[in-house]
Every structure is written in C-alpha cells, then in structure tokens.
Chains A and B, each alone.
Chain A
C-alpha cells in the first residue's frame, strides 16, 4: 500500500508487527529532533493480542468469530493512566490527525476515557472495556517545528495508531478506510461472506436499490417539493426503514397521545428528503392546556439505522434496520431515506387533566423548517401496579466492573452508570428483579478442603440497590456449579448448557448442599431476602444432563432452599426435574394459563418468562411483539414474572452488530454512562403501561362493586372481558401477524381508560 501521508505511527510492543507502511512506536521510543516519540516514556505499557478470523469455542463445541477483528495496527497498543505527551516535527500548515484507539486484550473494570489534544484542538475517546475500538479525526494548524500531542486521561488512555496528513489530502480517507471498516463494518476479506437482504416495503414490493420511497406518492405536492422533504408519521410500534413508503394519509401529521400523570409516552415522526439535508435540529415547545408541560418533559432522540443480523448469532445475512435511539444536537438526513425522530414525553406527576397542545419544529440548515402539531391528553388518574406481577430483566451490572476497577475514575464511572441504568429500568417498569451471583470459589483438587466464602459486600450492595429501586426479592442467584463439577470430575467442565456433562458422584451433591447451606446461613445472618438457586443456565435435555440437573436440584433442596430452572417444562425430557423445581422460567408462555394457575395453586410452583424472542434473539425489529408480550400477552398468560435476557449486551463494537460472536442488542451504552434505548425497550415500558391500565381498571371495578355500583362495574368488566377474549393467545408473540395491529393497542388502552374515567369520575 503506497501511503503518501506525512506521519503514520503504529503503537505497540517490540515483538508485534507494525502495519505495512507504518512506523512502529514503542514505549521506549523517545522523541528526537527528526523522529517522533514520547517526551517522557515513564509509565507507558505496551500490549499485543491478535485474533485469528475464527476461534474455537470448546464450551460450545464450535468455531466462532473473534471478540473483535484485529489488524496489524489495532492488535497492539500503548496505554497509561497518567498524562503522556508525544512529540512530532511538522512543517507549518493545516493538517488532519486520525487516531485509532482500543484494546484487544481482555480486561475487567477498565475504562478508556481520555482526550487527545493537538495545537489547541481536542477529540475525546470513551470505550467501556475491551474489544471496542474507535477512530477520531481532528483538524489543526501547525506553526512549524516540534509539535506536542497530549493524551489526557480521566481514567486510562490507549493508542493503537495515529496518522497525520495535509488537511486537503483527499487520498488520506481512502487509505484509512480499511481500518475504519474493520471497526465499524467488517474486514474486506470477511464482508463478502455476508449478503444484504433489502427491506421490501408493502407499497413498493418490487423496488430495486435505486427506487425512491416517495415515488408511489407522485405527483408530489408543490409545497413539499419546494420545502425539499416530506413529513410523515406512523405509529411508534411500526418500524420505519430507510425505504419505507409513507402512506398519503400520514403526511403532515398531528402527533397525538393520551397519558396519565407520571407516565411516559412516545411520539414519533419522520422526514423523507428529496435531497440531502444537513445539520437538522428538532425542538419541542412547551405544551399548553389546563397548565403547562415544559418542553424539558420531552426527550428527543433520532432513530439510528444499523446493519442487523437475522438473529443474534446468525451470520451471513444482514438488513439495515432501525436499531437504537440516540441523542443528537444536529443530524444529517441523506436524500431519499426516511429519518425518524423519537420523542418521549413524561407527564409531570402534578399535571392537571385535559388537552395540551404544542409544536415540534424540524429545522434543517438551508431549507425551510416544518412545524408538527403535538397534542397530549392528560387523564385524571394514576396508574397502579399489580403487586403480584414483577417486571425483571437479566443484567450485566456495572457494579461488578466498578468492583474490579483499579482506577478511581473508572470506578466512579461504572457506579454512576449503574445508578443511571437503575433509574432507566425503573422508568421502564423494571424493579431490578435481576439475577445475582453467589459465586463461591472451590479448589479443583478434591483433597484440598473448601473454605466457603463469597463477596458478601458486593452481593449485599447489589441487593440494597435493588431494594432501593423497588424489588425486595426473592433473588435469583447463580452459583459455582462448574467449579464444583470440575472438583469431582477430574477437572472437566460441564460445558455450555451442560453440553459435556455426566452425572456426578454423591460427594458432589453433598458439597453442593454444603455450599447452599453456607450461602443460606450468610443470607440469613445479613437479613437478606430469599434466594432462588440457579445452578445451570438452560440445561440440555439428554438423560445425562437431566440426571445431573436432578442432582443439583436435590442438593439445593437438601439445604432447605428453593430452585430456579430455565427450561421448558412442557418438554417430556425434563419430567424427572419437575418435583424439584420451584420456579420454571421459560421462553414461551407455556404451559397454558389454566395449567399455570393449576400448578401454582396445587404445588406452589411459579412460572416466569424470559421472552428472548422479543429481547435479544431477533433481528432488532420485533417491536410490536415486544409490546404484546410485556403487556396484554403477559396479562393473558398467568405467568407472574417477566425476566428477558438481557438489559444490554455488547460484543466487539457496541454499535456494530456484525462483528464478534453475536450482535449487540437491547440498550446501548450512551456517553458518560447514559443509556441509549432501542424501540423494543420502549415497547417494554408501553407493555408495562398496558398492564397497569388493565390492573387499574380491575381495581376500579372491585371498588365499584364494593360501593354497590354493580351496573357500572359490569359494563367495565364486559369491556375488559372482550379485550381478554380478543387476544389470540400464542406461546410467543414475535411476528406482527401474532399480534394486534399497531394502533389497535392504543384503542384497547383507551377503552380501558374510558371505563376507569367512568368508574372513578376522573376527567
């Protein structure tokens, strides 16, 4: 590769190769008059870890893509925790600096958060852990002669590569593009293994890649042509793709919704430009009605498209989909593609009931602005939460990263992130019913005695936080089943989902019982809520796997504790486990409502659901199925807890769904510990709200009956019964055809709200 760039520095170790055409820069490279280097090499550390294109996963028994795609530039890096200065010698002129930073070395509790400063210009990096690389560009003017490049960490800085070239050098971006693709798309040798599946719009099903989504609306209105774009609106639960054709009836919309005090409600609209629009801004006015709902009550985000896999670990095929909702100040809108904006208005708790009106303004630079009317009807009652139902979620807790952090700034960051995420969960209906870890380490050699211990401080702090956010137990706790298995099976591991497990000797059961007794004693000593012991995740169903599960469950029961199993109880192969299971957690809503109630009544067994098909295991577009599952479907199921997997999961770059073993999914890490949600997470909250409307009406009916208002109660009950009967019960609500239509949910919610208003006399 012929590189005409002025300076190409590849940071790394003495043994790791420099990228072709790049100059190796080591921790020991000191700046000289004619050579770039460090001003002070103290405290610099180099690292190197190259991943091949395929990595065997022994636990899963298959080959997988690496945690990130590395190249000769990104495999190695230099890092430090104190400020560091590079010095380069440049002739006077205007330049652009390009830097790539990240770590392919596995770490725990590390935060790469630093500024890179050059000649008065600055760019920031913030990567939460390993396998997450970023590139940045910054333009600056060099006065000529030695020039300092400063690395100013809040926690830790890291640098893999740095290029400096003339600001007007058009070839530079082209030469650096392969490094960008390795991070934000796929390496050039991997991409051909993937095929793009175009989205086919029902109004333009045979469209090719050159078709304009606005073409079926031709002839366009003159006013729209002059403005340069269409404004349209579709229900928030219906996906809008780049090529979605708007309905004519959706143009120039008024955004409408109703909500109760304290409730958050989504409003969305989209623009479809005929030519590219730059620096677009969106602002919301105060909403005025019986009072004022301030503009600050509206959170405005833009829907970011991304390549998505057909399912989270599927490879070879992708589609551009609406992926996550991100904050923005200005955003560019490409020509002939929809760009959707997502407004979440949270009604102040003291808002008076009535109709509020305001305006949303979409203002691109150099083109006329558009005003979109917004109407919000505030209802005069509060939603109530059914105390017998729990909304939980699997969770990778930043508190664990905080506990592992060695840099104070990293610890503070992860603790703050944990709080922000807890607040976000609460705002979406989750009361922090999250599985926890009660991990006790055990020596692998059976002759070595076990001294039981676990990190009670971390576990207690996590439980305290869950309580603070509304969940008082019981808590699902995972345990060190694998370590105990290795101790009794000559060091062998049970494998993913018990892939390689064999039944264990009786001593295993004895020691597992001892482990649970130890945990139970510590729990009781600390006054902690009850635990549900979770020995294995999603066990397989072979006779050996089931026999081993029975051993684990019996061992837990022997200690007088309760068990939690993630498996489908309707499968015959799990029948031997049934007498020992206190909580079945299943992916589908199966068994049926009637069977669930019967088993709960007769044996005290609880049924929880982890509906991954509308959380992590999908193509990121199952928004409608998510609303059905989390709301009316949950109500209809008889299950008592929803606990999908998982609040957030990232592999490799958190906004590149194609790299690493699996896609990134559900909520994404926003800057400074904030949360960037996905539409399915907003649907989780709307499902929660649907259920709260149902429960609020149930309570109003009960109160009306008690007050002797039988006729009014009967009328309301008939409405609720009709909605119940109208649910086409499915084990999994995933595809749109499994669910009611988009706006139908709101119609039913309004039917319920109307009855609440009638029964309570509220406005």
Chain B
C-alpha cells in the first residue's frame, strides 16, 4: 500500500491548560488491540503516575519471519473500528509512551504511529520518541489528521530494517486522552511565510481555532503591531479548526511585524513576520 504520509517529529506536551479531558477507556484494554508479528498485553506494573494500567507491545526482531515477500517485517499493533471514530469535536490527543530495548539505544527511527482514514492515500504518521526508560508524553493536534471525522485505525509499528536481527523492543502506551478547549480560543496564528519582502502585498495566515461547538462562529480580530505601535486590525469570523486568512500588508519599512489574534477581548495567540527590503523599491 502506498500512502501519502505526514511525518512529524514527536512533541512533548505540557498538561494542556484550559482544556477538558476525555479519557479513552477502550484503548486501555489490551484485549481490544490487534497484534501482528508482536504480542500485546496489559501491564499494570509499568504505568505512569496516576494511571492504572498500560498496554505493552513486545517485539522480538526477526529478519526471517515477516511476510513471504518481505521477510524483514513490520510488527504492528493497534485498534481498528469498522464504523469510524469521529474526533472532529476534539482538539488534542495525548498519550504517554515508554520504551525498553536490548540494544544500547533505540535507532534514529524507532517506530511510528499511523492514523488511518477511509482514503488510504491520506494517512497521518507520527515518529515515536527514541528515549528509553522514561515516560514521554506525546501530543497530536487533531487538526493535523486529514479527516478526523472518519478515523478507522490507530496503529503503532516499527520497521525491522531499522533494527538488528535478535533485538528485543518493548513499548508501553498509557493514558490515551482526547482534549477539548473549554471555551472558544484561537490556539495559533501561523504565517505561511515567516519572512517576506515589504512589497509582498499580503500575508497568508493559518488560524487554528478550538473550543467551538460544531457550526459555532465568533467574531475576533487580528492586530498588527510593530513593537508597541499598533498598525491596524482585521476583523475575523472564527470557527472550529484550521482556517486560512489573507491579510493585506500595509506599506512598512523592513523589520519585525507582530500579529496578535484576539477573541472575546483576549489575545490568545501571536506570531511574527520578518519584513526585509524589497528588490523592487517602494511598491
């Protein structure tokens, strides 16, 4: 199967502020997980603080026992659903992961996590952290999933080609939690271009908004500043998820431009754009 994959570095998340958690008990039950070329079981003895159990995936790396055409295999384990999970109402997925290995350390690419949607050509892939012996919290922004309304599978895997024959690897996964912002907020303002020349004419921004009910919109503003000097404001109508915004760029000298997103009278996200001299003189 060939897929288009979004490969992102793993991210360590702090406890999300202003967010409401929804734990996922079905993911804590290893009996619900499938396992290919590996074993999976609950392990109440290896858990992060405050968590009752974890799911342990154990892999004996074997370069001869994969599929017939691919003897170097890809051990994999996860959960699948025939009906699809709808995670579009959430903003963040977090879980904790811990690894142990017979090797000195995990390889550069220790393994990955795939989120599958019905369109197999659009999957989302996350590289697992390479630390061993510690619990690491991983955060996945839901808007990064190509289609969070129709999630059909979550699968942890590794490629045995990244390991030596005979290695052993264990991953413990615990505390899978979905989070939703308690109230509407603009989480991030992301300029597509962080450096532009002064004659660029406009900025293209991605605004990531969360904490909205489906269909809910709210008026906000984008403030443009240079230092403490206000340069102007653009009205926004914000809704859940990622939205693109095109903002005319006023005539400015080179320097740093600050963009601040305001919702409900609060500034919740800022970003900067560096303006450099124009090759064409004044526009």
Contact = CB atoms under 8 A, between A and B. Distances in A.
A507 B69 CA distance: 28
A750 B276 contact: yes
Contacts of A726: 194-195
A377 B279 contact: yes
Contact of B72 (A256, A314, A540): A540
Nearest to A750: B279
Contacts of B7: 732, 734
Contacts of A202: 206, 242-244
B95 to A, nearest CB: 22
Interface string A733-763: 0110100111110111011011000000000
A543 B61 CA distance: 13
B107 interface: yes
Given A543-B63, A570-B107, A571-B162, A748 B195 contact: yes
Nearest to B278: A750
Interface in A590-635: 590, 618-619
Interface in B65-120: 68-69, 71-72, 107-109, 119-120
A203 interface: yes
Contact of A735 (B3, B6, B246): B6
A370 interface: no
Interface string B234-249: 0000000011101010
A679 interface: no
Nearest to B121: A310
Interface stretch (B44-52, B196-204, B259-267): B196-204
A249 B201 contact: yes
B3 A542 contact: no
A61 interface: yes
B119 to A, nearest CB: 6
Given A249-B201, A541-B72, A744-B194, A311 B3 contact: yes
A543 B201 CA distance: 58
A572 interface: yes
Given A197-B119, A311-B3, A543-B63, A747 B193 contact: yes
A256 B200 contact: no
Interface in A99-115: none
Contact of B2 (A61, A311, A541, A573): A311
A741 to B, nearest CB: 3
B69 to A, nearest CB: 5
Contact of A499 (B69, B120, B197, B242): B69
B64 interface: yes
Interface residues of A, number: 52
Nearest to A738: B7
Contacts of A619: 4
A744 B280 CA distance: 16
B199 to A, nearest CB: 8
B22 to A, nearest CB: 25
B165 interface: yes
Contacts of B119: 195, 197, 317
A316 B118 CA distance: 12
Interface string A246-289: 01111000001010000000000000000000000000000000
Nearest to A61: B69
B161 interface: yes
A221 interface: no
Contacts of B191: 741
A239 to B, nearest CB: 14
B72 A741 contact: no
A306 interface: no
B163 interface: yes
A97 interface: no
Given A256-B280, A317-B119, A540-B72, A570 B193 contact: no
Contact of A542 (B72, B108, B200): B72
A754 B4 contact: no
A7 interface: no
Interface in B191-241: 191-197, 199-202, 204, 206
Given A197-B119, A543-B63, A750-B279, A744 B193 contact: yes
A248 B243 CA distance: 16
Interface in A532-569: 540-543
B277 interface: yes
A136 B4 CA distance: 37
A359 interface: no
Contacts of A732: 7
Q: How large is the interface on B (under 10, 10 to 19, 20 to 34, 35 or more residues)?
A: 35 or more
Contacts of B122: 197, 310
Nearest to A256: B280
Q: Is the interface of B mostly helix, strand, loop or mixed?
A: loop
Contacts of A734: 7
Contact of B197 (A355, A540, A750): A750
A750 B194 CA distance: 15
B32 interface: no
Contacts of A312: 2
B110 to A, nearest CB: 11
Q: In this complex, which of A202, A313, A355, A735 has the most chain B Cβ atoms within 10 angstroms of its Cβ?
A: A202
A744 B196 CA distance: 5
A483 to B, nearest CB: 23
Interface string A328-365: 00000000000000000000000000010000000000
A754 B277 CA distance: 9
Contacts of B163: 572-573
B2 A314 contact: yes
A314 B68 CA distance: 21
Contacts of A540: 72
A526 interface: no
A716 B51 CA distance: 54
Interface in A295-329: 310-314, 316-317
A571 B164 CA distance: 9
A228 to B, nearest CB: 24
Contact of A572 (B121, B164, B193): B164
Given A311-B2, A572-B107, 7 more contacts: A249-B202, A249-B246, A542-B63, A571-B162, A572-B162, A573-B162, A726-B195
27 contacts: A197-B122, A202-B242, A247-B246, A256-B279, A258-B280, A310-B2, A310-B4, A312-B2, A314-B2, A317-B120, A355-B280, A377-B279, A540-B72, A542-B72, A571-B107, A571-B162, A619-B4, A734-B7, A735-B6, A737-B6, A741-B204, A744-B193, A747-B195, A750-B278, A751-B195, A751-B276, A754-B277
Interface of B: 1-4, 6-7, 63-64, 68-69, 71-72, 107-109, 119-122, 160-165, 191-197, 199-202, 204, 206, 242-244, 246, 248, 276-280
Nearest 5 pairs of A and B residues by beta carbon: A741-B193, A310-B121, A314-B2, A202-B244, A311-B2
Interface of A: 61-62, 195, 197, 202-203, 247-250, 256, 258, 310-314, 316-317, 355, 375, 377, 499, 540-543, 570-573, 575, 590, 618-619, 726, 732, 734-735, 737, 740-744, 746-748, 750-751, 753-754
